[in-house]
Amino acid sequence: MNLLFDKIFELGKLSSISKNEQIVNGVIEAINAKWLKKGDRLPSINNMVEGIGFARKTIVRAYEELKKRGLVESKNFKGYYIASVNTKVKLKVALLLYAFHTFQEDFYNIFRKELGKKYHIDVFYHHNNLEIFKNIISTITGKYGMYVIAPIQSVETPKLLEKFQSEKLLIIDRFVKMPQDYSYIAQEFENSTYNRLVDLSTAIKKYKKMVLFFKEKTDYPLGIKKAFKKFIIDYKINGCIEKSYNQGSVKKNTLYFFISDNHLWEVLRDCKYAEYNIGHDVGILAHNDNTVKEIIFGGITTISADFKEMARESAAYVKYKTRIHKIIPSETKRRNSL
How many C-beta neighbours within 10 Å does residue 52 have?
21
The CATH number of the domain holding residue 111 is 3.40.50.2300
Tell whether 165 is covered by a domain: yes
Q: Which domain holds residue 26?
A: 2-82
One domain for residues 75 and 217: no
Q: Distance between CA 191 and CA 180 in Å, rounded?
A: 23
One domain for residues 200 and 300: yes
One domain for residues 48 and 129: no
DSSP state of 200: T
Residue by residue, pLDDT tens for the chain (338 residues) are 678 888 888 888 876 788 888 998 898 888 888 899 999 999 999 998 988 899 999 999 899 888 888 888 887 667 888 988 888 888 999 999 998 777 888 899 999 999 998 899 999 999 999 999 999 999 999 889 999 999 998 999 999 999 999 999 999 999 999 999 999 999 999 999 999 999 999 999 999 999 999 998 888 999 999 999 999 999 999 999 999 999 999 999 999 999 988 899 999 999 999 999 999 999 999 999 988 899 999 999 999 999 999 999 999 999 999 999 999 989 999 999 99
Please report, for residues 74, 213, 281, 282, the alpha-carbon distance to residue 259 in angstroms, rounded to integers and kept in the order given: 42, 7, 21, 17
Q: Angle at Cα 193 formed by Cα 192 and Cα 196, nearest 5°?
A: 90
> What's the pLDDT score for residue 16?
76
**3-state SS, residue 187:** strand
Ramachandran bin of 173, using left for φ above 0, alpha for ψ from -120 to 50, beta for the remaining angles: left
Are 288 and 257 within 8 A, CB to CB? no
One domain for residues 127 and 195: no
One domain for residues 28 and 160: no
**3-state SS, residue 51:** helix
> What's the pLDDT score for residue 1?
61
Tens-place pLDDT, residues 96-140: 999 877 788 889 999 999 999 889 999 999 999 999 999 999 999
List of E strands, the chain: 72-74, 80-82, 91-97, 119-125, 146-149, 169-173, 183-187, 209-213, 239-242, 254-258, 282-287, 301-305, 325-328, 330-333
Final residue belonging to a domain, choices 82, 109, 143: 82
Please report, for residues 203, 208, 270, the alpha-carbon distance to residue 248 in angstroms, rounded to integers and kept in the order given: 25, 19, 6
The torsion defined by the Cα of 77, 81, 87 and 91, in degrees rounded to 10, comes to: -20
DSSP secondary structure letters along 245-312: --TT---TTEEEEESSHHHHHHHHHHHHHHT--BTTTEEEEEES--HHHHHGGG--EEEEE-HHHHHH
One domain for residues 107 and 182: yes
In the chain, DSSP finds a helix count (H) and a strand count (E) of 13, 14
One domain for residues 75 and 101: no
Tell whether 333 is covered by a domain: no
One domain for residues 13 and 70: yes
One domain for residues 162 and 194: no
- Tally the domains of the chain: 3
Q: Which amino acid is at 16?
A: S
DSSP state of 41: B
Q: Distance between CA 139 and CA 80 in Å, rounded?
A: 17
The CATH number of the domain holding residue 26 is 1.10.10.10
Tens-place pLDDT, residues 298-313: 999 999 999 999 999 9
One domain for residues 194 and 299: yes
Q: Which residues pair with 239 in a beta bridge?
A: 210
